[in-house]
Amino acid sequence: MITVPRSLLLILITFLALGVSYSLVTPPLEPPDEALNYANALFIAQNRTLPVLQAGEKSKAHHPPLYYALSALVIAGIDDNLDELTADSNRYFGYNTYIPGIDNKIQTLPHPDLLAFPWHGAALGIHLLRFLSVLMGMGAIAAVWRTASLLTDDAPTATLAALLVAFNPMFVYIQSSVHNDALTNLLAAVAILAAVRYWQRPNLPHAVQLALVAALGILAKITFLFLGPMIAVLMVVRATRSHAANERPYRNIVVAAALVVATAGWWFVRNSAICGDPTCMNLQQAIWQPRPNSPDWAAAWGELDYLFSSFWGAFGFGQITLPAPIYLACHAVVIIALLGLIRVRWRTYDRLLIALLIIAPVSAFAATFWRMSVSATANFGRYTFTTYAVLAPLLAWGLLAWLPRFRQSLVRLFALLLLAFNLYALVGIIRPVYASPHTIDKIAMTTIAHPLEIEYAGVGRLLGYDITPSTAVLSDTVNVTVYWQTTAATTHNLTQFVQLVDADYERIGSRDTYHALGRYPSRHWQPDTFFSDTIPVPLTRATHTPAALRLIMGLFDADDPANKLTATNGQTTHTLGFMRLDGRQPAIVGAPVQYRFGDSIELVGVSAVTHTADTLDFTLTWQSIAPVAEDVTVFVHLLDEAGNLVNTSDAPPAQNRFPAHLWQPGDTIIDTRQHPLPTALPPGKYTLTAGLYSTADVRRLPVRPAALNDAITLYTWERE
């Protein structure tokens, strides 16, 4: 009888709590392929037969049936409303897929009422199957602990091996979802344990146990075959080392092979009849993003980093990632463990058995790498969890080898670190992705930096905005925060478009997204809710700099992008404000001059004036010597010989491409102008003058050196 130590019991209880927590925090259908996995089980429950993989149709019908058959028993009789849950998808899902954060990481957008507790329909079925997966994970952890105990006969090593499995965030995540990996990981861990037991006592009962578990594993998922080479070689090598007459190792091999074929062989026969190959992988591969020039070894090599990183955590469909330093720390721990294996005194262990077991992770990596060369959806580290019962004891061995006198303390330290790792992944990474946006009370709305009042009848009100940073450069990402008050839910999800455009209305940066980056689409709105919504907008298109970027925003029906919503003010597109775009300063144009207008602006260059039939053309170069508090307008006056005003042309500098309130000290603004000439200008002497005035109150800025009426002379000529 095996006595479960308190340490293992505590690990299992903690894993159960973590698994349930991950399950509750992650909405149904968000883990990898959960909708397809549940649909597969639902098909079996409703039709009492196995589904058939159809060309061009994404499904899990090509997967072996054991997990789905067990799941069908659990959800039999539960109402089917899976179509309601999957009806509304996030069309902006996948934006910046592998960048940490909350930006459109949600795949499906079922109405909250369909997911509310007490659960019903598909939501109930999913949570029941998730709990079943958690229980399977507990079984896998126990099997890993027992395997490590048999290999090492050392309690700290076995405990740390169990910890490395139970507190790996990715293992917890996949074992708390509806996924056939959950059963496969359990059966793989039990199979490796059975292989070790067979090696130590190669009798017929152990051979039968190993064969039956292997057959069930094959019927759980094709990735279980990663263990095939290890099991076969182990049994053959063990046969060459058998000396006891009652062991009869070759009989054991024949019986085991016959049991595997008898139990699992029908699946391959069925696949051959349906798909034309024993695994249906050819048809499956054509559906799930095949490489256009497979095998593409360069592409597979380029995805190795993600393969290793996702072993520790890549949640959702793999798009919810951890910060890079976390992955680096995980890789460092693995490297330290591998180096530590050099310090292990292997002569005290069964070195041949360990060498044979290592065939499993090597085979798993080789098979996964080959699949990565032919498919763009094969680079998930969780595929190697089938060999965790080998990897975890090896890692534990290597880590504990560095400080053998402090083994117990190291185990406790790793337990705390791994638990903190899990809580960070749960609370700091996964939960924010699915959390509702930040709601604001009415009082807080009065402190909005840039208040607005743009109303969409029957939808909501745009109450204001903020933009950070207020000054950016090309390639920066600008965060535009808008503040909404909801009126009612909509029949279709609305897209909000945010654009930063230059003076020519060229888009320098733009984003289309559901509200709250997919976390609060308009179909889910509750009346009279105030919330803030921060939208990152990368600046990707070049333009002349420095410049002012105009912030434009509006709404359109996600199902009909051409159908922009009209606000009560009659507009479909709204200019909210401006921001500054920094860049290389232009060179001064024209002859150098030095006139100071007010305390902040200097005129430093005036080009020669050229005549056309209708205009006087020239360029002024302005420089800011201090922050400009207000926008200004350039006035240009044509005066006759008596000083009478002939005509005028007033306009902001540079045609308002760069409003003065955005200027900073050192800015150079090139202001090309055309002053119109009257059609019947009589002969005489004329003078062209210019100056600045405040746009707000038409107050002229004083000029130094002093000039008449604060206007400087640009040009004089005599018309004959």
Whether the ω angle into residue 469 lies within 30 degrees of 0, i.e. cis, is: yes
Question: What are 134's two structure tokens?
Answer: 């958690």
Element (H, E) at 674: strand 668-676
Whether the ω angle into residue 561 lies within 30 degrees of 0, i.e. cis, is: no
pLDDT score for 198: 95
Mean pLDDT along residues 129-136: 97
Mean pLDDT along residues 122-138: 97
State yes or no: pLDDT of 17 exceeds 60.
yes
Q: Which pLDDT tens digit goes with each residue over 292-301?
A: 887 889 989 9
pLDDT score for 292: 82
Mean pLDDT along residues 152-160: 93
pLDDT score for 533: 92
Q: Mean pLDDT, the chain, as a whole number?
A: 92
Mean pLDDT along residues 159-188: 97
Specify the pairing of strand 320-321 against strand 314-315.
antiparallel
The contacts of residue 140 (CB under 8 Å, 6+ apart) are: 165, 175, 185, 186, 188, 189, 190, 388, 389
Residue 377 and residue 145 in contact, taking contact as beta carbons nearer than 8 Å: no
Specify the pairing of strand 610-611 against strand 450-456.
unpaired
Residue 195 and residue 242 in contact, taking contact as beta carbons nearer than 8 Å: no
The contacts of residue 609 (CB under 8 Å, 6+ apart) are: 616, 617, 618, 688, 714, 715
Per-residue DSSP letter, 428: I
Cα–Cα nearest to 603, from 714, 715, 716: 714
pLDDT score for 420: 96
State yes or no: pLDDT of 668 exceeds 70.
yes
Question: What are 200's two structure tokens?
Answer: 């130590």
Quick one: 623 exposed, middle or buried, by C-beta within 10 A (0-12, 13-18, 19+)? Answer: buried
Mean pLDDT along residues 579-586: 88
Question: What are 645's two structure tokens?
Answer: 């005003």
Most confident of 50-59, 213-222, 544-553: 213-222
CATH number for the region 444-582 comes to 2.60.40.770
pTM: 0.87
Residue 217 and residue 227 in contact, taking contact as beta carbons nearer than 8 Å: yes
pLDDT score for 2: 60
Q: Which pLDDT tens digit goes with each residue over 361-415?
A: 999 999 999 989 988 888 899 999 999 999 999 999 999 999 988 999 999 999 9
Distance in angstroms (rounded) separating the CA atoms of residues 461 and 476: 29
The 10 Å CB-count burial string (b at 16+, else e) for 284-322 is bbebeebbeebebeebbeebeebbbbbbbbbbbbbbbbb
pLDDT score for 545: 80
Mean pLDDT along residues 220-242: 92
535 falls in which pLDDT band (50, 70, 90)? very high
Residue 671 and residue 618 in contact, taking contact as beta carbons nearer than 8 Å: no
DSSP string, 6-27: HHHHHHHHHHHHHHHHHHHHSP
DSSP string, 611-635: E-SSEEEEEEEEEESS---S-EEEE
Question: What are 126's two structure tokens?
Answer: 């999913």
Q: Which pLDDT tens digit goes with each residue over 437-481?
A: 888 776 667 678 899 999 999 999 999 999 999 888 888 999 999
3-state helix, strand, coil in the chain (%, to 5): 45, 20, 35
Distance in angstroms (rounded) separating the CA atoms of residues 83 and 80: 8
Q: Which pLDDT tens digit goes with each residue over 652-661?
A: 998 888 899 9
Domains of the chain: which residue ranges?
Answer: 27-89+99-432, 444-582, 591-719
143 falls in which pLDDT band (50, 70, 90)? very high
Mean pLDDT along residues 218-241: 93
Per-residue DSSP letter, 679: T
Mean pLDDT along residues 326-348: 91
Distance in angstroms (rounded) separating the CA atoms of residues 500 and 477: 11
243 falls in which pLDDT band (50, 70, 90)? low
Distance in angstroms (rounded) separating the CA atoms of residues 12 and 134: 10
Least confident span in 165-174, 447-456, 514-523: 447-456
Q: Give the SS3 label for residue 142.
A: helix
pLDDT score for 1: 54
544 falls in which pLDDT band (50, 70, 90)? confident
Domain covering 591-719, topology = Coagulation Factor XIII; Chain A, domain 1 (2.70.50)
The contacts of residue 151 (CB under 8 Å, 6+ apart) are: 196, 349, 350, 353, 354, 393
Question: What are 100's two structure tokens?
Answer: 């940490």
State yes or no: pLDDT of 556 exceeds 70.
yes
Distance in angstroms (rounded) separating the CA atoms of residues 250 and 367: 28
Cα–Cα nearest to 171, from 434, 422, 429: 422
